Each structure stands twice: as structure tokens, then as C-alpha cells.
Structure 1
Amino acid sequence: MEVRAYIESGILELYVFGTLSESETAEVAEMAGKNPEVQEEIISIEKAVISLSYSMAPYLSAANYDRIREKLIEKHGKVVEMKPKSNVALFIGWAAAVVLMIGIGWQYTQLDSAKNQIATVETENDTLQKELIQTKLTQTQTESMLAVVRDQNNTVVPLGGQAVSPESKAKVYWNQGTQTVYVDASGLPQPPEGFVYQVWALKLNPLTPTSIGLLDDFKGNDSRLFAVNNAIEAEAFGITLEPAGGSISPTLEQLYTLGKV
């Protein structure tokens, strides 16, 4: 069909008024997209319809409005002025919503803060509990060692400093009844890295040294009181500085302390 015949068929008017089927509407839209003449005709029809609508609508002037208002007052006594709805209620509603959101946020923050505080307190309690247990263990060990040291049955052997370290000193507490030996090494300097103090029980004639233990973890032992092996028939005690792990025989050049029973 030619464009002019298509325009004059009346289908464009039906299209503007929206009375066509979906397929027919789609067909007209497609035709308008391809042919500017059809598109212009549709616009022209739409303008004509709008102009017709304005011409058919009654015009209400201010004078007409006043006359109608007076008639209504004569008939009904008064005319109720319709005021626009106040925005106060809407504002209050929005304000309440904002306050509610702030309150919820504050409560969430407080809850989160409380959870963090509880977690911190629990961690601190756990740390304090561990420290308390460690303190009790240390106290028990200290009391046990002090009981041994203060035992009247102990043989106390003072060990004096030797040529390599004249200022050094130590004490051996030897309980021959219980066969326990403790060394008070508080008078010895901190051993160098990679070295350890080794305790020897000595028989003097002939000189026969026997290792009775190492003073391990010297830095970690605050009391500097060490339990070592029993000394059988010892006539003297000596402490030497040896490589970590100890030596089979004492390094006499590194003899720090020595004392006879």
C-alpha cells in the first residue's frame, strides 16, 4: 500500500485514539519509524485532538467562580474552604523515623561495645587465671625447695670463686638422708650464649670428678636454685662453665667455684 493511501485509510486516527489491536499498533509504529510522512501525520492528528479537547472544555473565569460560590452559600449557608493537608504530620513521622533509626543504631553500637567488653574481660580473666595457676605452681616449687634448703639435716657446702671468676660464689645443700642435692647459683654470672654451668662431685685422692647435673635454663630460673643428682661419697663440689649440653670431664680452665665438704 502506498504511503498516501495508508495515511488516508483512517488507521492513523485509530492509532492515536488507542483503539487498534496490539499487532496493528505495532504495525503503525513500525510504519511511522520507516516513513517520516506517516510520523508527521500522527503528530498532526495528536495536535488536532489536543486543540479539540481545549475548545470543548468549559472556561471558568474568576467572575463565574464567584457567582457559583454565592449560589452555594445561599443554598447551603456556607462553603467550607478546603485547605491543603498540613505537612506537620508528615514531618513528625519522618522525624520519628529518624529518631528511631538513631536509637536502633545507638543500641547496636552499645550492644557491640558490650560484646567487646565482655570478650576483653573474658580474655583478661583467662590470662589472670593462667597467671594465678603459674604463680601457685611457682610458689609451691619455691616452698618445696626452701623446705629442703632449710632442713637442719643438710650439709651446707660454700663454694668460693676461682681464678677465672674470683667474685663468683655458690652453695651446695646436700641432704645425705634423703639423698637430695640443691645448688644455690645466685652468686654466678649469667652464662654466655651457647654455654652452661655443670656441677661436679669430687673425690680428692685421687682426683675423681663426677657430673651430677647441669644448671639449665639459668636465665629463666629467678630463684637460681637448682636440683641436681645425688652425690655419693663426695669430698668436694665444683662448678665449671661448659659448652651447651655439658662435657664428659670438667674444663679446669673454666672452673668458676670450688668448695670442700
Structure 2
Amino acid sequence: MNEEVTTFLNSGLLDKYLIGATTFNETEEVEAYISKYPEVQNAYDTLQHNLEIVAKSNAVEAPKRILETILNELDDAPVVQLKPRIRDRKWYKLSVAASVAALIFAGTSYLFYNQNQKLNKENQVVVEEIFDLRGDIEMNNKKLDEVMAQFKRLNDPETYKYIMQGNDRAKNLKTVAYINPKEKTSMIDVVSLPQLPEEKCYQIWADLQGKMVSLGILTETDRQLKRIPFTENANGLNITIEPRGGNTVASLENTVAEISLR
């Protein structure tokens, strides 16, 4: 093998030509060497064959030191005169393009799969949020129905309003009782309650023919319309100060507010 051919094969132009990376002038130079020198033609055919195998297996790199191996083989192998197969480079380009397209398709499919999984998770979150929202709406509707029912009772002509104000022992105490004898309902709205020691509490009673019946304990948390047991034929209502937790017998000496229902 003469020095000119060796220099050309070591220049890397043949490799660039195989992958379509040569300029117009470099392409003419390579094709001239292939046509003129059988050794270059043989090296080109060998390189093309090996790279076609690589392309078919979707490889992206040619085997390392392939040109050096081919040159060593050419030194011992007989020279075979072959016709140039310049157009085979187009087939190789198509193979590489097909391999690249397959890789792009695989990458795109994987990307779409990940996006689909992410969307599925987001959809599940949205579904759960909608379910929770429906629960909240149902709860709010229920509360609204209760409020509307309370307002309906308050606006009922049969509902009587009684204001209970504290005496000297609890001057700032004020509650409003709403009693409907026809519907047999009783409600109380705690407007203000003076603070008591921790061991004491306020308790409301119904006076039923001289017997005091407990209707429950009043606290700061009752500062809203609250239903209390209806006591038919009650003569009045009393609020007393009792030990913490309430009492079974009213401490009338500790009465802080009272009204007559007659």
C-alpha cells in the first residue's frame, strides 16, 4: 500500500464520507480515491458493511479502532477489484435515519406514557377533591337548611320572644329565649355571659309548677341560636350559677336572671 493511500485512509475522510459529513469538495476527493485505488474501495466496502450491521442493530457508534483493524487486514489480504458503490451510501443514510426515527419514536412514546401517568394521577386528585367538595356542599346545604328552619321558627307568629337580663350579680348577662307552644319548640340565643371562676357555670331551668327542671348548661360557645328542651306549661325560666358541670337541684339563691312565661 503506497504512502498516499495510507495517508488518505488515516485522514478520516472515508469515515466522514460514510456518515454523510463531508463537504462538497471532500466528497469529490473521497470518490476520486475510491475510483482510483482498489485499496480505498476495499476499505470503503468493509467499513460500509460493518456500519450497516451497526445501523441495523440501532447502535449509534461505530466500533472503536475499526479503521486501524481494516488497515492491518489490508496489508495481508489480496486486493480485489470491485466497482464503486457510491450510491450505497444513500441506503446507509436511510438506515441511520430509520434508526434515529425509531429511537425518537421510542423516546416520544415513553414521554407520552409518563405524561399520561401524571395526568391519571392528577385526574385522581381532581376526582377526590370533587368528592370532598360534594361532601362539603352537602354539609353546607344541611347547615343552611337548619338555619332556614330556625329562621322560619323565629318568624312564626306563634313564636314568642323573651329577653332575659342579668341582675346585680351578673349585670352583663343577656339571653333571648324563643318559645313556640304550638310547635313545642324552645330556642335560646346567648348574647353575653359574664365570666365565672373555673369551678362555676351558668345553668338554665324551667319552672314547672314550682319544680325546677334543668334545660342545660350555658357557656360562651352557646353564642348562637341553640335548641333547648321544650317544657310544656312552664311558668318561667331561671338562670343560676352552679358548680362546674351543672347541678341536679337549682340553687335559687344564686339566680342571676329570670322571666315569667305567663
Question: Are residues 1:179 and 2:184 paired?
Answer: yes
How far apart are 1:211 and its partner, in Å? 0.9
Question: Are residues 1:160 and 2:165 paired?
Answer: yes
Cα deviation, 1:46-77, whole Å, max 9, x if unaligned, reads xxxxxxxxxxxx9778xxx6xx86xxxxxxxx
Contact 1:149 1:182 in 2 (8 A): no
How far apart are 1:172 and its partner, in Å? 1.0
Q: Distance in 2 between matches of 1:165 and 1:99?
A: 83
Match of 1:166, SS state, is coil
Contact 1:215 1:226 in 2 (8 A): no
Question: Are residues 1:148 and 2:147 paired?
Answer: no
Aligned to 1:236: 236
Match of 2:216, SS state, is strand
Q: Determine which structure has more spread, i.e. the larger CA radius of gyration.
A: 1
User: Which residue type is aligned with residue 145 of structure 2?
Assistant: T
Contact 1:161 1:256 in 2 (8 A): yes
Q: When the two structures are superposed, what TM-score results if normalisation uses the length of structure 1? A: 0.56
How far apart are 1:252 and its partner, in Å? 5.9
Aligned to 1:21: none
Q: Distance in 1 between matches of 2:192 and 2:142?
A: 25
User: Which residue type is aligned with residue 228 of structure 1?
Assistant: I
Q: When the two structures are superposed, what TM-score results if normalisation uses the length of structure 2? A: 0.56
Q: CA RMSD in A?
A: 3.8
Q: Distance in 1 between matches of 2:109 and 2:197?
A: 63
Structure 1 gaps, min length 5: 1-57, 70-78
Aligned to 1:225: 225
Contact 2:170 2:194 in 1 (8 A): no
Match of 2:239, SS state, is strand
For 1:17-96, list aligned pairs within 5 A.
Answer: 80-82=83-85, 86=89, 88-96=93-101
Aligned to 1:116: 121
How far apart are 1:256 and its partner, in Å? 5.6
Q: Distance in 2 between matches of 1:170 and 1:236?
A: 14
Match of 1:198, SS state, is strand
Contact 1:214 1:228 in 2 (8 A): no
The 3 A distance-change label for structure 1 pair 254 and 119 is: farther
Aligned to 1:128: 133
User: Which residue type is aligned with residue 105 of structure 2?
Assistant: L
Match of 1:81, SS state, is coil
- Range 127-136 or range 224-233, more displaced: 224-233
User: Which residue type is aligned with residue 225 of structure 2?
Assistant: L
Cα deviation, 1:154-191, whole Å, max 9, x if unaligned, reads 22210113445422311111222333211112434799
The 3 A distance-change label for structure 1 pair 141 and 244 is: farther
Aligned to 1:246: 246
